[in-house]
A and B are shown apart, each in its own frame.
Chain A
Amino acid sequence: MAEVILRPTGNFDLTVEAEVVTPDNFAGKNAQEIGKLLVWQGPQQLPLTDFFEIKGNGGISAQDTTIIIDGNVSRVKRIGEGMTAGKVHVKGSTGMHVGNSMAGGEILVEGNTDSWPGMEMKGGLLHIKGNALDHVGSAYRGSWRGMTGGRIVIDGDAGNQVGGGISGGEIVIGGNIANFCGTRMNGGLIVVRGNAIRTVGAEMTGGTIVVGGTIEKFTPGFMQTAVESNLKFNDIECPGEYKKFAGDYAIPQKGKGVMYVSAENNEDL
């Protein structure tokens, strides 16, 4: 497996759009050729070498290529966008849109990410060890078609709009989330180990949401259908007792979504 190491050295006062940073683009290129790939910063297109010191060559294919970003790139957007195979390992934090519409391979972020990680993702694994801001795995603004496959794991907290419009794949949030989780989702799985504020599952028409913590303000269009214990979705386990709900009854496609809420942490429901 070939490794390409990018060490951030440039001026990131203006954010950089780095959708070229994928194993697919690096494969078959040596360090020099990789350095010539262009990224946008503001109104200018500049070579990657203006921002990174680059060591190592890409592999024969994306599959054989690992990209290691050795530092903090929280001002760099769209890392790993559309990648189909290989690995990206970010040792710090990233900017917006990491793993946008990725279809395969693996991205590991040691730090935090800005908003939109895994937007409209189709496959692969996106693992963020820290926190993420808004729109994890969701649809682009205006669209109702979010993530369709793959898995997003966030060990820390996430913000608003987790899994907006998703129809497949899995999102697992280790910590807490804010508002609007799984809005308009019609398939797939969202597991939140911690707490949520409100509007969980609003307008959902399919799929499953699990909330292990407390939901501060429960969405009104849901009806309890059962109580179940120790949930298991393939390799994702949710121990404890859960109240099972169907919804959202507030819209015409009634009650086809499923929401599990921790019984222990939501006694008043």
Chain B
Amino acid sequence: MAGTIAIKNGYVFDPLNEINGERMDIFIRNGKVVTELSAAELKDAKEIDASGKTVMPGGVDSHSHVAGAKVNVGRMMRPEDHYKSYQKKTPITHSGSGYSVPSVYLGGYEYSKMGYTTVFEAAVPPMEARHTHEEMRSTPMIDMGGYLVLGNNWFLMRYLKEGDIEKAAAYVAWMMRTHKTYGIKCVNPAGVENWGWGENVNALDQANIHFEVTPEDIIKGLAELNEMLGFSMPVHLHANNLGHPGCWEITRDSLKIPKNVKARPKDPNVEWAETKINPQRHESVYLTHCQFNAFGGTSWRDFESGVKGITDYVNSHEHVVMDSGCVPFGEATVMTGDGPAIHDLYVLTGNKWSNTDVECECGSGVLPFTYLKNNPVHSVQWAMGLEVLLYVKDAWKSIMTTDSPNGGPFIKYPQVIAWLMSNKARQDTLSECHKWASDRAGLAGETRELTLNEIAIVTRANAARTIGLSHSKGTLGIGADGDVAIYDINPAKLEVSDYESIIRAFENAAYTVKGGEVVCQKGEIVAIPEKKTYYTDITVNAEEEKKMIDDVKNWFKYYTIGFSNYPTPEKYLANPTPIKIDAEV
């Protein structure tokens, strides 16, 4: 029977069910986790002996740049990223190339090799939604979705300025449905719009040009809209001033803005997997790549880690969850909706760069970047990314990412896991780094080592919970999707000082199971599964929606495309999976 499998005797880590390394069996029938299989079913089912191995839900990456216009610019402007890094086709896989920005097929395979089964594209400019969906559709092995960039949107800024929150809500709901995207992304609010005039904003109360809204207005507005509409995930924030020494303060102050916005995720009428822990989020903001938003000091000369200022705040408040944006050293390609941040990096490095103004909506930029251990700033950034995850006391407040490929490509996750689990791994790397890594950050004195259970939280359970997917992802509870990662790690014999073995185990999962089917085995792709594309479909007041659409049509004269060509039809999605929310209830 397809999608039916028994995984026997593994050490299971399912944090959403408080299962912490218990030896047990996992059964999957027709792609879903079940309590047991009948004797007849067992006879036909594939059986995996997972004894001496670690069993986790399939990995969930809630923030990665893997599909769309700027990702493709990262490919096109970097032939040198491809010619030494390629894979041949096999009877079932496509060929592919690219180290920091792999081609779509290769990206899917590489995620699957590490045991990941779900990945969300971090930034979808509305006008580029079709392109993003075309690439997501062609990315095999993983279920996907994308966040819609709305932090500098002309319509929203106007509605927020006029205080027309009803129309703004109708607009957000309509945009999500139109572009088949999943949640709200806010990048350098008010600042990217100013970049169209060669400016930025550098304070939360600084109004931008023409629209005269402040970053604070936008963050507050989007957080409120997010909860009015009952999105499954909190508003996803890339704070202002990113990448500038001292930016940690504006980041902390940005996190204060949605403090009093109460999280109200609406139940999206789906079958929920059984979980012991409340699978719904209670946070009203999801900060992304904290490391890039946590620079301390006042200049590059007195640059230092500002992570503690943010983690102290996060540790004492319940409305924030964040991902780390770790820097694992080596080749990266920096790509973001924050155009001015890319220009600043160009001025700093002299590297080739690209910038785009996405008409009435947002912007973006791309630049190749190499993180070096002997570079003082880079070595501190490496320490900072790990500090984010080690300083946050409750792992349920953090998610492990590299903001791939900004801090480094996602294929470096196993290395990041090793640093988190092994103080020796960190100390060994510290000894190879510029001394700033020890002097300008607190990492050297941090002895915490994350457990396998905490790794399962920051790499799948909390990523899924944060974006509201724990009805089917990030857990092995009954009813969840049959996505499982089995690693060659025996928790009973694990010596974290032997961190090379941790890296090897997470690089190539012993088995990656997707929908109850073994799709990857020890680094070899053995099956190409069906994939899903999630998006959010919110029903709002029809009257409000009609009034809002009149506005949009009226302003569409400023676009270079026709209104009828604007939406992304469902045919662009692989197995479109709408999360239906009724905002009127």
Contacts and interface: CB of A to CB of B under 8 A. Distances in A.
Interface of A: 139-143, 251-253
A140 B83 CA distance: 9
Contact of B79 (A140, A251, A252, A253): A140
B41 interface: no
Nearest to A253: B350
Interface in B332-387: 347, 350, 352
Contacts of B347: 252
A252 B350 CA distance: 8
Interface residues of B, number: 9
Contact of B80 (A140, A251, A252, A253): A140
Contacts of B81: 142
A251 B347 CA distance: 10
B552 interface: no
Nearest to A139: B80
Contacts of A139: 80
B77 interface: yes
Contacts of A140: 79-80, 83
Interface string B518-561: 00000000000000000000000000000000000000000000
Contacts of A252: 347, 350
A142 B79 contact: yes
A143 B78 CA distance: 8
Q: At the interface, is chain A mostly helix, strand, loop or mixed?
A: loop
A251 B83 contact: no
A22 B240 CA distance: 54
Contacts of A253: 350
B188 to A, nearest CB: 24
B350 A141 contact: no
Contacts of A141: 79-80
Question: Which of A139, A142, A251 has the largest number of chain B CB atoms within 10 A?
Answer: A142
Contacts of B80: 139-143
13 contacts: A140-B79, A140-B80, A141-B79, A141-B80, A142-B77, A142-B79, A142-B80, A142-B81, A142-B352, A143-B80, A252-B347, A252-B350, A253-B350
Contacts of A142: 77-81, 352
Question: Which of B77, B79, B347, B350 has the largest number of chain A CB atoms within 10 A?
Answer: B350
Nearest to B349: A252
Contacts of A143: 79-80
A229 to B, nearest CB: 34
A141 B78 CA distance: 8
A141 B350 CA distance: 17
Nearest to B348: A252
Interface string B44-81: 00000000000000000000000000000000011111
Nearest to B82: A142
B77 A251 contact: no
A142 B77 CA distance: 7
Interface string B447-461: 000000000000000
A253 B79 CA distance: 25
A251 B79 CA distance: 24
In the A-B complex, the 3 residue pairs with the smallest Cβ-Cβ separation, listed nearest first, are A143-B80, A142-B79, A142-B80
Question: Which of B77, B79, B80 has the largest number of chain A CB atoms within 10 A?
Answer: B80
A158 B236 CA distance: 54
